[in-house]
Amino acid sequence: MKNCRTIIRLLLRNKFASVRCHQSAAMSSLLINQPKYSWLKELGLSEDNPGVYNGSWGGSGEVVTSYCPANNEPIARVTQATMAEYEVTVQKAREAWNVWADIPAPKRGEIVRQIGDALRKKITTLGSLVSLEMGKIFVEGVGEVQEYVDVCDYAVGLSRMIGGPILPSERPGHALLEQWNPVGLVGIITAFNFPVAVYGWNNAIAMTCGNVCLWKGAPTTPLTSVAVTKIVAEVLEQNNLPGAICSLTCGGADIGTAMAKDERVDLLSFTGSTHVGKLVAMMVQERFGRKLLELGGNNAIIVFEDADLNLVVPSAVFASVGTAGQRCTTTRRLMLHENPWDPKTLYGPLHTKQAVEQYLAAIEQAKQQGEEEAFAWNNEVKQGLSSSIFTKDMGRVFRWMGPKGSDCGIVNVNIPTSGAEIGGAFGGEKHTGGGRESGSDSWKQYMRRSTCTINYSKDLPLAQGIKFE
């Protein structure tokens, strides 16, 4: 009997030792524990990371492992939000709005400025994380963080410019004006291909307008979501502001669906595929909610006979293969005036003889029908995000920009379909969703407008000259 107990103790000891060994091996296999990737800890990341932030960090849902797409090795783990934690986070975000909305817009702009500066300090490290977790090359990763920085700068200036017009009233002793106010809680659902920039576009402008934000990043880039939120949260905490102003709930379709159906989410910004975007739009519309959709594109470059090929070739290459062709603005269609059969060309062959014959027939038809047909080809697809022509003909340029030209939200000349600046409104038409983010007057999407009439006279004249006596 004594020998049996001894054997059992030895077996249990070996079992626990084996478990500890497996756990240790699993932890050491994570990239974050390798000296080469020790810089990840500079972003506040560890082996296991909470994926919920609402003023404090937490998370007790599914544990997901983030993998590097370049080598399929695990980077670190994130614990996603449960539905109960989502509920608590929404409540805390709504409470935080009561504080944030009372702060004057220029003061809100100052907080956004500090966020931009905090991002500047970690731009290389955060850009490296984007490259590691999403898979885009390093310079694109850094460039994406730079977009967030740039839109913060833009939002700071915007904080002193938001306003509506004072309009002429037809009634004596009356003032007619527009008042713009924040919508409240802005839900932001972003995609894997731009895990920093798209959140930045929404977050910086929404905050300046007086809104609080609830972010659900892509399930495959949760470490980036956590790292960005840590940077933003530190700024809020340093200014004694509620952290829930910029909340985070990592999760999957369950969290996204909850946001789409939640009447407390006053505006839902969704970036993703047209298929999922349509489902989101219907859920939001069912509750008469507001939505901002940035969906897929089927973008074309049209090269006319007078195009500068020194511009065309690098533009077509960058727009086609940048981010491995995973941008919403990636060029998917290339229409040429003629075939440049140059052995140095960087655009490869079609797959079959039949495809070549169809392509050549299409080119011949384009030659015959000319500019009008090329414009029509650009517009014949269901999406309407980005488009570009290469030409030196100024008449053609203005026709391309006019009512019978491109029907896309982004209409370019002698530049690629991708690589938009933050100063202009970004978005598209038709199945691309119709939303606008970033610059120009995109801020209006994050606010509600009131038309206000003030009677400062002692009379009560009615509009349209109506007499009620």
**371 has catalytic annotation:** no
C-beta atoms surrounding 423 within 10 Å: 12
CA dist., res. 192 & res. 223, Å (int): 11
CA dist., res. 73 & res. 96, Å (int): 39
Annotate 102-168 with DSSP letters as a single string: TS-HHHHHHHHHHHHHHHHHTHHHHHHHHHHHH---HHHHHHHHHHHHHHHHHHHHHTTT----EE-
Residue 266: partners with Cβ closer than 8 Å, 6 or more residues away: 183, 184, 185, 186, 211, 289, 290
Q: Is residue 289 within a helix (H) or strand (E), and if so which, with residue range? A: none
Partners of 58 in the beta sheet?
A: 52
Residue type, 348: G
CA dist., res. 24 & res. 144, Å (int): 35
Give me the catalytic one of 133, 294, 371, 437.
294
Rounded alpha-carbon distances, angstroms, from residue 240 to 7, 59, 100, 186: 59, 23, 11, 21
DSSP 358: H
Structure tokens that stand for 339 in this block:
């075939």
Locus of tokens 């999957």: 252
Strand, helix or coil for residue 63: strand
Q: Is residue 280 within a helix (H) or strand (E), and if so which, with residue range? A: helix 274-286
CA dist., res. 426 & res. 409, Å (int): 7
CA dist., res. 1 & res. 12, Å (int): 17
Structure tokens that stand for 406 in this block:
């491109």
Residue 398: partners with Cβ closer than 8 Å, 6 or more residues away: none
> With contact defined as beta carbons under 8 Å apart, do 220 and 65 qualify?
no
CA dist., res. 338 & res. 110, Å (int): 53
CA dist., res. 62 & res. 78, Å (int): 8
CA dist., res. 113 & res. 111, Å (int): 5
> With contact defined as beta carbons under 8 Å apart, do 280 and 256 qualify?
yes
Q: Which residues are annotated as catalytic?
A: 294
